[in-house]
Amino acid sequence: MFKRILFFLTAVFLVTLCKAQVGNAPHLSKKGSASRLIVNGQSFTILGGELFNSSSTSLEYLNPVWPRMKELNLNTLFMGISWRQFEPAEKKYDFTLVDGLIREARKNGIKIGFLWFGAWKNGMSGYAPEWVLSDLNRFPRMQDSSGRNLEVLSNLSIELCHAESKTFAALMKHIAEIDQTEQTVIMMQVENEVGLMRGSRDRSKLANSAFRKDVPQELMKYMLSDTSRLTPYLKKAWAVNHFKKEGNWSAVFGSDESCGQLFMAWQYARYIDNIAEAGKKEYPLVMNVNAWLAKDTDKPGTYPSGGPTAFNLDVYRAASKNIDIFSPDIYVPEFKESCKLHQHNGNPLMIPEACAIWLKDTLSAPAKAYYTIAEEHAIGFSPFAIDAKLYNAAHPLSQAYKNLNQLMPLINELRGTNKLRGFMQQTGKIDSIEFDAFKFIITYKVNPGSGNKLGYGLIIQLSDNEYVFSGCGFAVTRIVSKIEKKPMISLTSVQEGEYLNGQWILLRDLGGDEVGGQGTTGPFFPPTTYSLALDYNYISTQKVRVLAHE
């Protein structure tokens, strides 16, 4: 009897421990107005990179890649897991690749964000398994206006959603079993850049039937709760028929293409939320959905219609209770604007893809990383195609990530406050950054249009008159005092150094030609005069003391 009781108590303890560990999975929390990613109980900021789509399909292919990722000083790799590779036959799961990727990531001290390439990837269904694609009766396709099948699985298929939900749940259960203590896997992306190309909406009989039904009450309730917070796109579409409170999609949103686009957004969002819900029941990791960006004036179908673009965020947030982050993949010139648009109604910012190397954008990653993390207080940044050979120890991203890693205790402490600021050249030559006591005028050393080199940096306020600057390609050309009756400025100290284990290590005490105005105006980044060519790999960190006086 005693042995039975002991066995029972042991079993209860193990189950309780397992649930406690799952409950302590990587998650989001709020600090002020900013979101934080918590991993193993600590704030974690993603300094990441995303692999090419097919790189993670083979452990052997990645063998020479891991050392380069360590040389780049990144802490997280985003990598794909395809449905067809994970479940080549229905209910026959192959965990070999997942186990190997997690094992190698641990060896190299790198976290993983998995991208689930399921029913859709970039608007198409190229990663679905053959047993799904071959059964059109069970898993119907979207259709065009002529009734022709498209290479896109229907987001209204209950069978498809049920099958993929089971698969995703099995994947999440396995990750929980092998990784809930280590927390190597910190995030799951559900699908990839969903949406329908070459049309505003699905025209199949199944879709047409759903289109004639009333707009779901969940969406109407969301819109009616506070019309002032809606995106201009959604509000404009709703205004076409005078803000009706019920009716089918055409009755509420009119008959133009924006109506079909909103309809598709709802269907994708509901489908994805079902997949995420099934996965979170097994292991409640942070889950995100990424977007192929578009402007709200673009024609639906020239971009994936119905995707989680900024102007569709209200629809996705109304439909999705299990998605934590809607993330922009930013390959457009308007980087800053895209960051701000995707924080609509409190959506946490995380950039899983940026820097289009196919458009020769090969050097902007350091600037965008600094800006995203310091100014937008994002939980992470990641350039795409990080395993391209151009990203190596000699690339400035390596030094940028090294510096950011050193500054991370300060960044995590000050996230969500005005004591952490960032800046990045986008078009002009001058920026200004304000704190309570001082305003810093930033002049960029790079001319607009000089390839993809950008001036950039961050400022961390340590005390009333002490600041840490870090970055490249700029100079502080003027400091303005905001202190009453103390308009004059003196620099009492400009030190170049680095943080090691949280301690400031002095490299040089700067003055003379290495500081503006012979040590009276403001620091240079790098600390050299204008007569020398800009070294884009020289990313300097400097601690500056500013004295305001009469």
- CATH value at residue 478: 2.60.220.20
- Residues 340 and 443 occupy one common structural domain: no
| pTM, to two decimals | 0.94
Looking at residues 396-419, what average pLDDT do you find?
Answer: 97
Examine the fold and report which residue of 414, 430, 456 is the final residue of a domain before the chain moves on: 414
Residue 5 has pLDDT above 90, yes or no: no
pLDDT digits (tens, 9 = 90+) for 68-90: 999 999 999 999 999 999 999 99
- Residues 376 and 478 occupy one common structural domain: no
- Residues 187 and 334 occupy one common structural domain: yes
Domain residues for 536? 420-549
Q: Where are any strands of DSSP class E within 218-324?
A: 286-292
Give domain status of residue 430, yes or no. Answer: yes
Looking at residues 46-62, what average pLDDT do you find?
Answer: 98
Examine the fold and report which residue of 414, 438, 459 is the final residue of a domain before the chain moves on: 414
Looking at residues 386-414, what average pLDDT do you find?
Answer: 97
Identify the pLDDT of residue 449: 61
CA distance 474 to 17: 52
pLDDT digits (tens, 9 = 90+) for 474-525: 999 999 999 999 999 999 999 999 999 989 999 999 999 999 989 889 999 9
The phi, psi pair for 315, rounded to 5°, reads: -65, -45
| Residue 408: band (very low, low, confident or very high) from pLDDT cuts 50, 70, 90 | very high
Give domain status of residue 3, yes or no. Answer: no
Residue 222 has pLDDT above 80, yes or no: yes
Identify the pLDDT of residue 191: 98
- CATH value at residue 318: 3.20.20.80
- Residues 527 and 541 occupy one common structural domain: yes
Identify the pLDDT of residue 447: 78
Give domain status of residue 102, yes or no. Answer: yes
Identify the pLDDT of residue 32: 80
Place of tokens 């198409």: 124
Name the more confident of 24 and 55: 55
Rg (CA), the chain: 26
Examine the fold and report which residue of 357, 380, 414 is the final residue of a domain before the chain moves on: 414
- Residues 361 and 472 occupy one common structural domain: no
Per-residue b/e over 299-310, b at no fewer than 16 CB within 10 Å? ebbebbbbbbbb
Identify the pLDDT of residue 217: 97
pLDDT digits (tens, 9 = 90+) for 315-350: 999 999 999 999 999 999 999 999 999 999 999 999
Identify the pLDDT of residue 249: 98
Looking at residues 249-271, what average pLDDT do you find?
Answer: 96
Identify the pLDDT of residue 15: 44
- Residues 287 and 327 occupy one common structural domain: yes
Per-residue b/e over 179-218, b at no fewer than 16 CB within 10 Å? bbeebbbbbbbbbbbbbbbebbbbbbebbeebbeeebeee
- Residues 169 and 191 occupy one common structural domain: yes
Residue 169 has pLDDT above 90, yes or no: yes
Per DSSP, helices labelled H in 24-74 are 59-62, 65-71
Residue 17 has pLDDT above 60, yes or no: no
CA distance 223 to 238: 9
Domain count of the chain? 2
CA distance 409 to 389: 31
Q: Which residues contact 548 (CB under 8 A, 6 or more apart)?
A: 437, 438, 465, 481, 483, 486, 487, 488, 489
Percent of the chain with pLDDT over 70: 94
- Residues 105 and 193 occupy one common structural domain: yes
219 near 266, Cβ under 8 Å?
yes
- Residues 399 and 448 occupy one common structural domain: no
- Residues 446 and 536 occupy one common structural domain: yes
Mean of pLDDT over the chain: 94
Give domain status of residue 335, yes or no. Answer: yes
Structure tokens at 75: 């802490």
Identify the pLDDT of residue 4: 55
Identify the pLDDT of residue 531: 61
Residue 20 has pLDDT above 80, yes or no: no
Give domain status of residue 203, yes or no. Answer: no
- Residues 271 and 287 occupy one common structural domain: yes
Give domain status of residue 6, yes or no. Answer: no
Residue 402 has pLDDT above 50, yes or no: yes
Give domain status of residue 241, yes or no. Answer: no
Angle between helices 396-414 and 365-374 (to 10 degrees): 0
- Residues 501 and 409 occupy one common structural domain: no
Place of tokens 């400009």: 494
Give domain status of residue 258, yes or no. Answer: no
Strands 325-330 and 286-292: what pairing?
parallel
| Residue 446: band (very low, low, confident or very high) from pLDDT cuts 50, 70, 90 | confident
The phi, psi pair for 424, rounded to 5°, reads: -155, 135
Looking at residues 371-393, what average pLDDT do you find?
Answer: 97
Residue 533 has pLDDT above 90, yes or no: no
Residue 314 has pLDDT above 50, yes or no: yes
